């Protein structure tokens, strides 16, 4: 189990300074999976940068509105 100082060091080196996971694993002598898990760069995590756009549909014709 990693200590909090090591986890913060991994995050700092990988995310802020841009070192690769492979280079960090060589320097810190840890597995790449450990570096990947602690750096927070999981490819399964997606961030939404902007809210979803609302779709505006044109008004329907009166005949179609009767069935809807």
Q: Which residues of 38-62 are buried (b: 16+ CB within 10 A; e: fewer)?
A: bbeeeeeeeeeeeeeeeeeeeeeee
Count of the separate structural domains present in the chain: 1
Domain that holds residue 18: 1-42
With respect to residue 62, please indicate whether it lies within any of the assigned structural domains.
no
pLDDT tens for each residue of 36-65: 888 775 444 444 565 667 777 777 777 776
What does the mean pLDDT of the chain come to? 76
pTM of the model: 0.52
pLDDT value, residue 50: 59
Q: From CA 39, how far away is CA 45, in angstroms rounded?
A: 12
Instruction: Say if 17 falls within a structural domain.
Output: yes
Residue 47 inside a domain? The answer is: no
């Amino acid at each position: 189990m990693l200590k909090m100082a090591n986890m913060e060091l991994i995050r700092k080196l990988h995310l802020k300074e841009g070192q690769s996971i492979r280079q960090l694993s060589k320097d810190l002598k840890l597995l790449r999976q450990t570096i990947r898990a602690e750096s927070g760069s999981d490819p399964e995590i997606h961030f939404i940068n902007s809210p979803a756009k609302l779709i505006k549909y044109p008004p329907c014709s009166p005949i179609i509105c009767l069935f809807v």
